[in-house]
Amino acid sequence: MRRRLLYQMRKRGILETDLLLSSFAARHLADLPRADLDDLDALLANVDWDIFHWASGKTAPPPEIAHMPVFQKLRDHAARRGASIVRMPDLPTE
């Protein structure tokens, strides 16, 4: 499931969302518990711009998204993102 989520977080189609989600994945995906992975999977079923605007605080997310612990982590990640130059993280080599 983690590999599929990693791919989905890197290949969204909108650069802003790709950068936000791929940098979040690089930092947090390996440590997320199963419940958060399931919530993240549900979150990724939404439209890219909605995810980006919800995470960046530009619009309010629906209650079912706002209450997800993984969404709170994503929102915190988005708030710190402006502190450094963001680029697409390298894929892990195995």
Q: pLDDT digit string (tens) for 17-35? A: 888 999 999 899 999 999 9
Number of H helices, E strands in the chain: 6, 0
pTM for this structure?
0.81
Specify the pLDDT at position 94.
Answer: 63
- % of residues, the chain, pLDDT over 70: 88
Task: Provide Rg for the chain, Cα atoms.
Answer: 12
Confidence of residue 4 (pLDDT cuts 50, 70, 90): confident
Residue 50 scores a pLDDT above 70? yes
Confidence of residue 88 (pLDDT cuts 50, 70, 90): low
Specify the pLDDT at position 54.
Answer: 95
Angle at alpha carbon of residue 65, lines to 26 and 43, rounded to 5°: 45
Q: What share of the chain is helix, strand, coil (3-state, %, to 5)?
A: 70, 0, 30
